[in-house]
């Protein structure tokens, strides 16, 4: 398959590009490089430095490259920012996605894979989260993902488009080999921050809240390896052959880890101390979020290769150790 990877220079997109190559597909990358890194794109892969809302260009690329499937990873992901500047997130994550879908219709491309998030489910009482749970986001970011999920449902019904939506839990880790990895600016995620402390780039870190109703009082999350996520997306391709298909899958290992367990595992893997201070709870954090991924496992044959936080953190450590300043180290 010829696959246009929108946001293919970002963290998850760049891992997906490599997994597409490994599976024998031909990725073409479209990225405006506002958040993405050009150095994450493998040499030999066709790259367009284009904004996904530039319809004339996007239509031209879709036709010229004879694209079969569009995978869409380009989004703003910072929950806090989405609450301070919701229109920025609606514009990028919703309006530009609508523009991309219109360009696809114009070019006659009707298969779509969308990067969603477990934040569409919001504050449910009892994890594990299943696909059947209602959309109840509690942030503007989560709402933008939920909006696109609903837009896609209508598009599949109205236009015979087919779509597979993947809701990630906590995407983490890096490709084996340490050539690509996580490089966000600013960095807000737990594992890279703990690794930055282990590397001595930060003196200390903060643990946001320790009186949650969890075994050690810190939040439980479901950390899932970025290559495992990518493989699930590709496994859905055959299902998109049928017009009107609309699929949603939760992707996580189903085994949650607490903030303190992550810090301890980073210490163990790195052999370096990770000092922390207790800090107030972070707005919008739910006590516990982990996936029921039975649907992806049974319908797609998805079989995560990194089932433990240690195996995930080992790959992240390798990337950060060899690229302490991310892609700027190249």
Q: How many residues bind ligand UDP (CB under 6 A)?
A: 14
Give the CA count within 13 Å in the CB-facing half-sphere of 91: 5
Which region among 15-23, 133-141, 189-197, 304-312 touches ligand UDP (by CB under 6 A)?
189-197
Chain-centroid distance, C-alpha 195:
19
Q: Minimum CB separation from ligand UDP for residue 206, in Å? A: 5
CB-nearer residue toward ligand UDP: 27 or 127: 127
Report if residue 190 touches ligand UDP, rule: CB under 6 A: yes
Report if residue 285 touches ligand UDP, rule: CB under 6 A: yes
Q: Minimum CB separation from ligand UDP for residue 7, in Å? A: 18
Which region among 46-54, 58-66, 82-90, 199-207 touches ligand UDP (by CB under 6 A)?
199-207
Q: Which residue is nearest to ligand UDP (CB)?
A: 219
Which region among 46-54, 66-74, 104-112, 182-190 touches ligand UDP (by CB under 6 A)?
182-190
Chain-centroid distance, C-alpha 59:
25
- What sign for the dihedral angle of Cα 282, 286, 287, 291? negative
Within 8 A by CB and 6+ apart from 268, the residues are 310
Structure token pair of residue 76? 């703003």
Residues 57-116 that bind ligand UDP (CB under 6 A): none
Catalytically annotated residue among 11, 48, 141, 306: 141
Q: Which of 33, 55, 208, 264 binds ligand UDP (CB under 6 A)?
A: 208
In this structure, the chain runs to a length of 330
CB-nearer residue toward ligand UDP: 21 or 188: 188
Q: Minimum CB separation from ligand UDP for residue 167, in Å? A: 12
Report if residue 193 touches ligand UDP, rule: CB under 6 A: yes
CB–CB of 228/305 below 8 Å?
yes
CB-nearer residue toward ligand UDP: 207 or 226: 207
Which candidate, 74, 288, 318, places its Cα nearest to that of 182? 318
Report if residue 139 touches ligand UDP, rule: CB under 6 A: no
CB-nearer residue toward ligand UDP: 75 or 190: 190
Report if residue 207 touches ligand UDP, rule: CB under 6 A: yes
Within 8 A by CB and 6+ apart from 3, the residues are 20, 25, 26, 27, 28, 67, 68, 69, 70, 71
- Does residue 141 have an active-site annotation? yes
CA dihedral 224, 226, 231, 233 (to 10 degrees): 90
Report if residue 224 touches ligand UDP, rule: CB under 6 A: no
Give alpha helix (H) positions in 71-205: 79-84, 86-89, 96-107, 140-159, 190-198
Residue indicated by tokens 């696959």: 3
Task: List, by residue number, the catalytic residues.
Answer: 141
Interface residue list for ligand UDP (CB under 6 A): 170, 188-190, 193, 205-208, 219, 221, 259, 282, 285
């Amino acid at each position: 398959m010829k696959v246009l990877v929108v946001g293919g220079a970002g963290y998850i997109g760049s891992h997906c590009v490599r997994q597409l190559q490994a599976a024998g597909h031909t990725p073409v990358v479209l990225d405006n490089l506002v958040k993405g890194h050009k150095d994450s794109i493998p040499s030999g892969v066709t790259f367009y430095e284009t904004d996904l809302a530039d319809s004339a260009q996007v239509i031209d690329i879709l036709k010229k490259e004879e694209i079969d499937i569009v995978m869409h990873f380009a989004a703003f992901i910072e929950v806090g920012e989405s609450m301070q500047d919701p229109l920025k997130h609606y514009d990028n994550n919703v309006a530009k996605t609508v523009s991309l879908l219109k360009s696809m219709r114009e070019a006659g491309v009707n298969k779509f894979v969308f990067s969603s998030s477990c934040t569409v489910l919001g504050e449910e009482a009892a994890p594990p989260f299943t696909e059947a749970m209602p959309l109840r986001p509690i942030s503007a970011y989560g709402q933008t993902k939920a909006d696109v999920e609903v837009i896609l449902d209508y598009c599949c019904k109205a236009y015979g488009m087919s779509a597979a939506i993947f809701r990630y839990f906590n995407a983490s880790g890096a490709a084996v080999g340490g050539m690509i990895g996580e490089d966000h600016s600013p960095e807000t995620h737990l594992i890279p921050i703990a690794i930055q402390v282990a590397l001595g780039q930060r003196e200390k870190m903060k643990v946001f809240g320790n009186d949650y109703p969890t075994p050690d009082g810190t939040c439980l999350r479901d950390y899932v390896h970025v290559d495992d996520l990518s493989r699930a997306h590709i496994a859905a391709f055959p299902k998109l052959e049928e017009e009107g298909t609309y699929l949603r899958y939760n992707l996580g290992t189903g085994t949650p880890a607490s903030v303190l367990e992550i810090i301890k595992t980073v210490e163990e893997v790195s052999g370096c101390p990770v000092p922390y201070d207790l800090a107030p709870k972070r707005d919008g954090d739910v006590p516990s979020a982990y996936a029921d991924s039975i649907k992806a496992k049974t319908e797609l044959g998805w079989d995560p290769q990194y089932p433990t936080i240690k195996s995930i953190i080992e790959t992240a450590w390798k990337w950060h150790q060899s690229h302490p300043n991310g892609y700027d180290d190249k």
